[in-house]
Chains A and B, each alone.
Chain A
Amino acid sequence: QVQLQESGPGLVKPSQTLSLTCTVSGGSISSGGYYWSWIRQHPGKGLEWIGYIYYSGSTYYNPSLKSRVTISVDTSKNQFSLKLSSVTAADTAVYYCAREALDVEMATYYFDYWGQGTLVTVSS
């Protein structure tokens, strides 16, 4: 059974960089066949896709966040990470990592496994 677990600071100061890691168990990121995404949910609001990474390191980001987002992968640790720079209070949200299965290397556009989420608050 695949499990995803987010980790990282729950409090970040404005203008600093938010850093989170997602540890994957029950399956290997380096086996391919999946996009690994970050998704966030502002308090009491809907979901917003941030970006994804493939095991090879190729990425795709939401254009609205692209200038501030970096997603990286460490296959040796079976982890992928999110960095969001120059954060403001508007970046306060629950951040989820999630898996999207590929079908013959084609995206399927749905997320079958999610982490439990981690609340990140941006405040001085």
Chain B
Amino acid sequence: QSALTQPASVSGSPGQSITISCTGTSSDVGGYNYVSWYQQHPGKAPKLMIYEVSNRPSGVPDRFSGSKSGNTASLTISGLQAEDEADYYCSSYTSSSTRYVFGTGTKVTVL
């Protein structure tokens, strides 16, 4: 099972919007609505930001939104803030025996 494909880096200025893509296959992202997104600051544990494609856990700002089209899921951060600078990972259920697959990770830089 290969990792889901994410861009290595995405950057934006404060207040701008950025979108991170997560590309898989019909066996994972495209076939199921079990895509989640995690934010990870350096030296910290991942934090759940989005689950089931577009749902936000309690406490996550509504600046974070998720969507999916075909085999590609996306995380959009609107009104980018300095504290959003972190690594972001997508994850999906996969019908392969691996069951869970993560993305390659994207470093978000706030200029």
Binding site for B on A (CB under 8 A): 45-49, 60, 62-64, 96, 107-112, 114-117
Contact = CB atoms under 8 A, between A and B. Distances in A.
A49 B100 contact: yes
A49 B99 CA distance: 9
A112 B52 contact: no
Interface stretch (B10-18, B73-81, B101-109): B101-109
Given A60-B99, A64-B98, A110-B52, A47 B34 contact: no
B110 interface: no
B104 to A, nearest CB: 5
B45 A116 contact: yes
Contact of B48 (A47, A63, A107, A110): A110
Contacts, number: 59
Given A108-B51, A109-B34, A114 B102 contact: no
Q: Is the interface of A mostly helix, strand, loop or mixed?
A: loop
B64 interface: no
A112 B57 contact: yes
A112 B97 CA distance: 22
Contact of B98 (A47, A62, A96, A117): A62
Interface in B1-25: 3
Contact of B104 (A46, A96, A108, A109): A46
A117 B45 contact: yes
A112 B48 contact: yes
Interface in B59-102: 89, 91-93, 97-102
